[in-house]
Amino acid sequence: MNKMKNIVEMNGLTKHYFRKKALDQLNLTIEEGKVVGILGPNGSGKTTLIKILTGLLRQTGGEVRIDGHKVGVATKSIVSYLPDRNFLYKWMRIKDALKLYQDFYEDFDEKKFEALLDFMKLEKDMKIDTLSKGMHEKLNLSLVLARNAKLYILDEPIAGVDPVARDQILDAIIGNFRENSSMIITTHLVRDMESMLDEVVFLKNGRIVLTGNAEQLREEKGKQIDGIYKEVFGA
For the chain, what are the domain ranges?
6-233
How far is it, in rounded angstroms, from Cα 87 to Cα 217?
Answer: 36
How does residue 235 score in pLDDT terms, banded at 50, 70 and 90?
A: low
**pTM for this predicted structure:** 0.92
Q: What is the mean pLDDT of the chain?
A: 90
pLDDT at 189: 87
d(CA 178, CA 174): 9
Are the CB atoms for 172 and 142 separated by under 8 Å? Answer: yes
Q: What is the mean pLDDT of residues 36-62?
A: 92
Judge whether 29 and 10 are in contact, CB under 8 Å: yes
Question: For residue 163, what pLDDT is reported?
Answer: 87
Give the pLDDT confidence score for residue 1 in this predicted structure: 44
Q: What angle do CA 93, 97, 99 make, to 5 degrees?
A: 110
pLDDT (tens digit, 9 = 90+) per residue, 82-134? 887 777 888 899 999 999 999 989 999 999 999 999 999 999 999 999 998 88
Average pLDDT, stretch 53-63? Answer: 92
Of 28, 3, 6, the C-alpha closest to 201 is: 28
User: Which option is the CATH number for 6-233: 3.40.50.300, 3.40.50.620, 3.40.50.261, 3.20.20.70?
Assistant: 3.40.50.300
Three-class SS state of 75? helix
What does each C-alpha distance from 30 to 6, 35, 124, 145, 231 come to in angstroms?
6, 9, 36, 20, 24
Contact 28, 12 (CB under 8 A): no
Q: What are phi and psi of 134, to 5 degrees?
A: -65, -40
Choose the weakest-confidence range: 66-70, 151-155, 174-178: 174-178
Who has greater pLDDT, 234 or 139?
139
Could you report the per-residue pLDDT of 10-38, keeping only the tens digit for each? Answer: 999 999 988 888 999 999 999 999 999 99
